[in-house]
Chain A
Amino acid sequence: DAGVIQSPRHEVTEMGQEVTLRCKPISGHDYLFWYRQTMMRGLELLIYFNNNVPIDDSGMPEDRFSAKMPNASFSTLKIQPSEPRDSAVYFCASSLFRESPLHFGNGTRLTVT
């Protein structure tokens, strides 16, 4: 199994630019999660999907953030416009069931200057 695949691994962008992070979950996993990790706030759940449908987006910081899952094998997290405080490592994870262990991707390190 290839595991959860995230791209890009690193992203450096200027304030105001649009950023799109991508994720391919493990095949057959019904749940997909987006997390953000910062030193100050630790690991925060941003949003999660079940069978491609967003279930809980209460962790999304503000309207600048949006996430989609057009099919079972692909999800995006978009930030528009980006701000320096969005700098963090963004993790995508998938699981078979809601309470199953999460399998994390390697993360995308986002730096907004």
Chain B
Amino acid sequence: AQKVTQAQTEISVVEKEDVTLDCVYETRDTTYYLFWYKQPPSGELVFLIRRNSFDEQNEISGRYSWNFQKSTSSFNFTITASQVVDSAVYFCALSEARSNSGYALNFGKGTSLLVTP
């Protein structure tokens, strides 16, 4: 079963537009962590944010903001006034404990964002 769903496969916007990337997750744990990573065309994976399940405060970092809503199991990511350099694949990920005391960081399939001039 897919633990993290990023329904938007590709998004294309024009520079300066705002864009929201959706992330819906599924877990039975009461304690879990949510992450967003960016993968630019060069291929590396860059950490953007981590949120724990007990902190539903929205977060803003420059042009980036995140909306965490447990009621809808969503952790959406908004880029305000998008720029060409924002073009990348963005991954949402869920960290939860496995029943056998293991650990899993499940990534969504990613949303490819293209920002054109």
Binding site for B on A (CB under 8 A): 33, 42-43, 45, 48, 55-56, 58, 89, 91, 93, 98-107
Contacts and interface: CB of A to CB of B under 8 A. Distances in A.
Given A43-B91, A48-B103, A102-B105, A56 B43 contact: no
B47 A106 contact: no
A58 B108 CA distance: 19
A42 B108 contact: yes
A104 B98 contact: no
B35 A101 contact: yes
A42 B45 contact: no
B43 A101 contact: no
A91 B33 CA distance: 21
B95 A99 contact: yes
A45 B43 contact: no
A42 B110 contact: yes
A33 B33 CA distance: 17
B109 A42 contact: yes
A58 B33 contact: no
Contacts of B37: 104
21 contacts: A33-B105, A42-B109, A42-B110, A43-B110, A45-B104, A45-B105, A45-B106, A56-B104, A58-B102, A93-B45, A98-B95, A98-B103, A99-B33, A99-B50, A99-B52, A100-B50, A102-B47, A103-B47, A104-B37, A104-B44, A106-B43
B75 interface: no
B109 A89 contact: no
